[in-house]
Amino acid sequence: MGEFELIERFFKRPAQQADVGVGDDCAIWSPQPGQQLALSTDMLVEGRHFLSTVNPRHLGHKALAVNLSDLAACGARPRAFLLALSLPRVDEDWLLGFSQGLLDLADAHGCELIGGDTTQGPLNIAITVMGETPHGQSILRSTAKAGDDIYVSGHLGDARLALEAFRGNLSLPQAAFDLARARMETPTPRTALGMALRGLATAMADISDGLLGDLGHILQASGVGARLDLSPMPGLMLTRQAWACPREWMLRCVLSGGDDYELVFTAPPAARAALKALALSCHTPITRIGSVIPDRSVLLVQEDGRELPNTFRSFDHFA
Amino acid sequence: MGEFELIERFFKRPAQQADVGVGDDCAIWSPQPGQQLALSTDMLVEGRHFLSTVNPRHLGHKALAVNLSDLAACGARPRAFLLALSLPRVDEDWLLGFSQGLLDLADAHGCELIGGDTTQGPLNIAITVMGETPHGQSILRSTAKAGDDIYVSGHLGDARLALEAFRGNLSLPQAAFDLARARMETPTPRTALGMALRGLATAMADISDGLLGDLGHILQASGVGARLDLSPMPGLMLTRQAWACPREWMLRCVLSGGDDYELVFTAPPAARAALKALALSCHTPITRIGSVIPDRSVLLVQEDGRELPNTFRSFDHFA
């Protein structure tokens, strides 16, 4: 099978919102009038972002999910994406699974595949997504204010727990491993919540490198600090429904695990009731974990009121 | 040097036309009202699209040039791009050269780097470009008409000649090698010509996989064929200014060499005078090489009027 048949067979579908979709030199696409575009690109490399044994359907899902998570972090509505794919060889079963996982998630979020590129080489997946927000309503990292509450969506730490189990660093009961692995391989982009937070959240980021690292980006860009309450942290790990994670693992995974694709955001205390209602309507739990302080430091406060030294590191590809 | 310092140091510049540039979850960018977006992504892999010994500055140039060439092929004005980069290690000299080559070409074409992603892995460069055309004025592949003339821009075949010399399949005099290598490593995207052809060209593509292959995409999408005149072909190869290329090499490189990043387009005979003027004003030579025929075949006609059998193959990454 050649390059063009591969595209035709696995990735080309009739253009929906695109004026010209897959198959010309460029995709031609018109954003809706009065909207700003939110654009993001994420590259996934075998052995670094996923294991070679991953189910290709899950990989297709995850490759788009991590990009949709960036749109959610800006409050943007997903519209379209481009896929650049480097493959060692044409494996039809793999391509079928990958494209199904990818396009199923795309359909679920109204995000159309409008163009791409395929080449031969080490397995590498680079997706660029485009979303829209009404003018001036994107939620940035730089606008958190002292006194704001700090929230996270969904669950944290499970993906890192699964990775440590894959690495042989700890052993999980099967039910806990299945839960953690699903969180690692098929993260859920928080699209609906991200959009609903427009006008309520003062700042937002998605959690890909770990809670402390990504919250750190908000704090740094906004010139503020945070006081975090550790007491709700155990409840953030979904795997705990099946297994009592040792406290040390739990804290490390929740605070600096990475690969979570949840949202961390700030909002004024006056928005608490509105946020509670909004989380219900989006079917996405949110948890208040602390507050923004004027001093540019991060305090980790334990149940007994004592401070825990912050020795957690976030993920850095070149550190 | 970590991932964020790397981005800060080599790729982050003050946002110009972007509302939010490098450094948030997404770039925020507003297309001009009434414009359609043209979008394209191209992935370059070491050993396949470039040699490991390439000057990083040339590589930065080429990685963006091949993407700008896709915009030119639709008649689009370059506006912005995103860069996803996988690197085996942080090599500051390499990054300095690469980013300079990339950003110099970006500046020359008014195309702003607004976002990206960096990760560790085998060297891989995936760029997504965005351009604009007035509504309905994009030049597609599917709209060539029988009776149209067929043109190519600039020079063809030199990049392939350089590749064959690198592979040791032929030996070139130094001056010819330098010319051919420059064409291979620093192709010139035909941005001004592409935009000027709006309303004149009936169909257009860029030549990345070889003239016959990319013209073939136009013919197939338009449901037509072509009669090509081989007599102007020798003059298309720039290297011939320094070296009398054997006819067999010349034909193979011009017709199916690949990596040219020139434009192939169709236009009605009534447009000949306008096209001549336009080529002059864009400082880009164009050459009429044949005409579109209703029959879905490609005829290669020699100087003496005899047909040459078409045994040329275009490039396919998985063929």
Domains and CATH numbers, chain B: 3-134 (3.30.1330.10), 149-308 (3.90.650.10)
**Contact, B159 vs B183, CB < 8 A?**
yes
Instruction: Flag if A2 and B73 touch (Cβ within 8 Å).
Output: no
> And the tokens for B113?
């780097």
- Name the residue facing A2 among B73, B120, B319 (closest C-beta): B319
- The whole-number pLDDT of residue B51 equals 84
- Burial class of B285 by CB neighbour count within 10 A (0 to 12, 13 to 18, 19+): middle
- Nearest Cα residue to B69 out of B316, B258, B310, B298: B258
For chain A, 319 residues long, give each residue's pLDDT as a single digit of tens: 777 788 888 888 887 877 787 778 899 998 888 889 999 999 999 988 888 889 999 999 999 999 999 999 999 999 999 999 999 999 999 999 999 999 999 999 999 999 999 999 999 999 999 999 999 899 999 999 999 999 999 999 999 999 999 999 989 999 999 999 999 999 999 999 999 999 999 999 999 999 999 999 999 999 999 999 999 998 999 998 888 888 888 899 999 999 999 999 999 999 999 999 999 999 999 999 999 999 999 999 998 989 887 777 666 666 5
Residue B74's pLDDT band, with cuts at 50, 70 and 90, is very high
Three-state secondary structure string covering chain A: CCHHHHHHHHCCCCCCCCCECECECCEEECCCCCEEEEEEEEEEEECCCECCCCCHHHHHHHHHHHHHHHHHHCCCEEEEEEEEEEECCCCHHHHHHHHHHHHHHHHHCCCEEEEEEEEECCCEEEEEEEEEEECCCCCCCCCCCCCCEEEEECCCCHHHHHHHHHCCCCCCCHHHHHHHHHHHHCCCCCHHHHHHCCCCCCEEEEECCCHHHHHHHHHHHHCCEEEEECCCCHHHCHHHHCCCCCHHHHHHHHHHCCCCCEEEEEECHHHHHHHHHHHHHCCCCEEEEEEEECCCCEEEECCCCCEECCCCCCCCCCC
Q: How far apart are CA B225 and CA A44, in angstroms?
A: 41
**Contact, A204 vs A197, CB < 8 A?**
yes
**Contact, A145 vs A292, CB < 8 A?**
yes
Residue with the larger pLDDT of the pair B240 and B310: B240
- Taking contacts as CB-CB distances below 8 angstroms, the residues of chain A near B21 are none
- The whole-number pLDDT of residue A143 equals 95
- Taking contacts as CB-CB distances below 8 angstroms, the residues of chain B near A28 are 36-39, 74, 133, 138, 140
Q: How far apart are CA B86 and CA B124, in angstroms?
A: 5
Is B145 a residue whose pLDDT tops 90?
A: yes
Q: b or e along B23-33 (b: 16 or more beta carbons within 10 Å of the residue's beta carbon)?
A: bbbbbbbebee
Q: Which of B1-10, B126-135, B195-204 has the lowest mean pLDDT?
A: B1-10
Instruction: Flag if B121 and A45 touch (Cβ within 8 Å).
Output: yes
Instruction: Flag if A45 and B317 touch (Cβ within 8 Å).
Output: no
Tens-digit pLDDT profile for residues B224-264 = 999 999 999 989 999 988 888 888 888 999 999 999 999 99
- Beta strands B149-153; B262-267: pairing state: antiparallel
Chain A nearest CA to B19, separation (Å): 9
- Name the residue facing B86 among A45, A83, A89 (closest C-beta): A45
Q: Of all residues in chain A, what percent are helix, strand and coil, respectively (each to 5)?
A: 35, 25, 40
Instruction: Flag if A122 and B117 touch (Cβ within 8 Å).
Output: no
Instruction: Flag if A221 and B23 touch (Cβ within 8 Å).
Output: yes
Instruction: Provide the 8-state DSSP code for B194.
Output: H
Q: What is the mean pLDDT of residues B48-52?
A: 85
- Nearest Cα residue to B131 out of B188, B71, B82: B71
Tens-digit pLDDT profile for residues A136-167 = 899 999 999 999 999 999 999 999 999 999 99
Q: Which of A181-195, B40-54, B242-256, B302-316 has the lowest mean pLDDT?
A: B302-316
Place of tokens 């930065």: B60
- Name the residue facing A126 among B19, B76, B84 (closest C-beta): B84
Residue B34's pLDDT band, with cuts at 50, 70 and 90, is confident
Instruction: Flag if A26 and B85 touch (Cβ within 8 Å).
Output: no
Q: How far apart are CA B77 and CA A94, in angstroms?
A: 37
**Contact, A86 vs A119, CB < 8 A?**
yes
Is B77 a residue whose pLDDT tops 90?
A: yes
Contacts of residue B228, defined as CB under 8 A and 6 or more positions apart, other chains included, come to B150, B289, B290, B298, B299, B300, B301
Q: How far apart are CA A55 and CA A98, in angstroms?
A: 8
Whole-structure pTM value: 0.92
Instruction: Provide the 8-state DSSP code for B274.
Output: H
**Best mutation target, B20, B25, B48, B191, to test chain A (most A CBs within 10 A):** B25
Over pLDDT 70: what percentage of chain B? Answer: 98
C-alpha dist (Å) from residue B30 to A128, B16, B17, B117: 16, 12, 8, 21
Chain B nearest CA to A262, separation (Å): 13
- The whole-number pLDDT of residue B315 equals 60
Instruction: Flag if A121 and B126 touch (Cβ within 8 Å).
Output: no
Instruction: Flag if A2 and B318 touch (Cβ within 8 Å).
Output: yes
Q: How far apart are CA A138 and CA A194, in angstroms?
A: 10
Instruction: Flag if A74 and B23 touch (Cβ within 8 Å).
Output: no
Q: How far apart are CA A50 and CA B255, in angstroms?
A: 41
The pair phi, psi for residue B36, each rounded to 5°, is -95, 150
Q: What is the mean pLDDT of residues B173-184?
A: 94
- Taking contacts as CB-CB distances below 8 angstroms, the residues of chain B near A4 are 316
Chain A nearest CA to B217, separation (Å): 9
N- to C-terminal Cα separation, chain A? 40
- Taking contacts as CB-CB distances below 8 angstroms, the residues of chain A near B40 are 25-27, 82, 115
- The whole-number pLDDT of residue B318 equals 61
**CA geometry: angle A136, A139, A140, nearest 5 deg:** 105
Place of tokens 């974990």: A289
- Taking contacts as CB-CB distances below 8 angstroms, the residues of chain B near A20 are 138, 140
- Taking contacts as CB-CB distances below 8 angstroms, the residues of chain B near A85 are 43
Instruction: Flag if A23 and B120 touch (Cβ within 8 Å).
Output: no
Is B302 a residue whose pLDDT tops 70?
A: yes
Mean pLDDT of chain B: 92
